[in-house]
Amino acid sequence: MSLFNILDNEELLNKFKIIIFSKRISNAYLLHGKDISNIEAIALEFAGMLLCENNESTPCGLCESCTRVKYLEHPDLDFVYPLPKREESPGDDPFKGVSNRIFDEIESILREKAVDPYKKFQVTNARSIPISFIRMIRKRAYLKPQESSRRVVIVFDAHNLTEQGSNAFLKILEEPPPDTTFLILSDHPEMILPTIKSRCQHVYIPSINHEVLISKLRDMGIEEAMANILARFSEYNITQVYELINYNITDLVNYSINLLISVAKWDKVEIKERINELVDYYKRDRKKFFLIMKCIQFWFRDATLLSRGIMEDIILADKIDRLEKFVKNYPFFNGEGLYKAVDNCIDLLKSNVYINVALMNMMFEIKEKLGRKGK
């Protein structure tokens, strides 16, 4: 039985059950890995196990506790998460001064999370977990559980604890409440205070299996070809997949192909227009900008595979006709050099090189590495 329809982590969940039935439950667990959405889903399932009333099977999915956890409404289940930056109050109310819009957003996030545990818990413009949140949770953590035998506190994005918040949280872990378990979640555990980590049981959460992720995307109504593209673009990270769904990948691929056509023709007017467009994307929607960069790299990757007669691992399979035409027209193209040209551009941007210069440099490199056109 799974409260949240967890994907591909049966072995890990069985380990949690053994811990619970052997009554070796720790005060704090650090759940970490590369895919934060997967970590969050596992944490909710673990919380359901800890709060379930059934002594023989957990989570049973039938008891009152399981029902409440399923809807994220259990009185003994608390959440700590980053909030938008504001002036820190000396009290223990992290929501003092928070707008009604943020309250409504948090309620909406919880409703969506109950339906789909893989949707990232992310409040708009949230930057850090303030000390006031830790003060509030400290008071609750030392109270006797209302309905279950213990209380569970899930700390989302724990690496975003402020310095003061980290120190306050450390004090709780140094003298932990007897009936409270903290589930501390992070995809950047190296940013968490070492003394906090030393007081936790560490649990690595592996990423979802490739085939399982694609199956989930198909269950969401996404066609298999696009599911494969989303999975590859996200590097099989479900957190990234949910972000990518908001973009029209087909349009971005077509845009990237047209950009490369402009470079191949070396049409200076078109190149200038493309650079201006990319600069605008970089300023307004950086995610979209880097997706275009990835589209360009995947094009050159697939063209290289195709030139070697390798068909089964091509990502942009729906563009196979255009890829074949490219390989025929540019038989001397340097696939590795073309891929590297994009990496070089990104490295220049990270070094704060003027973006127009970085993009123009990439265009020159691409033109050079295409080689002479075939007859």
Give the pLDDT confidence of 100-153 residue by residue, as tens digits. 999 999 999 999 999 999 999 999 989 899 999 999 999 999 989 999 999 999
Mean pLDDT of the chain: 92
Residue 375 banded pLDDT, cuts 50, 70, 90: low
Same domain membership, residue 165 and residue 25: yes
Print the domain residue range for 268: 249-370
pLDDT, position 89: 57
Same domain membership, residue 170 and residue 185: yes
Same domain membership, residue 130 and residue 165: yes
Residue 374 banded pLDDT, cuts 50, 70, 90: low
Report the pLDDT averaged over residues 18-24: 90
Q: How far apart are CA 157 and CA 189, in angstroms?
A: 9
pLDDT, position 23: 87
What values do phi and psi take at 151, rounded to 5?
Answer: -115, 145
Q: pLDDT higher for 301 or 372?
A: 301
Q: For residue 90, is pLDDT > 90?
A: no
Same domain membership, residue 363 and residue 232: no
pLDDT, position 273: 95
Q: What is the CATH number of the domain that holds 161?
A: 3.40.50.300
Same domain membership, residue 343 and residue 239: no
Q: For residue 304, is pLDDT > 70?
A: yes
Q: For residue 271, is pLDDT > 90?
A: yes
pTM as predicted: 0.85
Same domain membership, residue 166 and residue 192: yes
2: in domain: no
375: in domain: no
- pLDDT tens sequence across 331-343: 999 999 999 999 9
pLDDT, position 2: 84
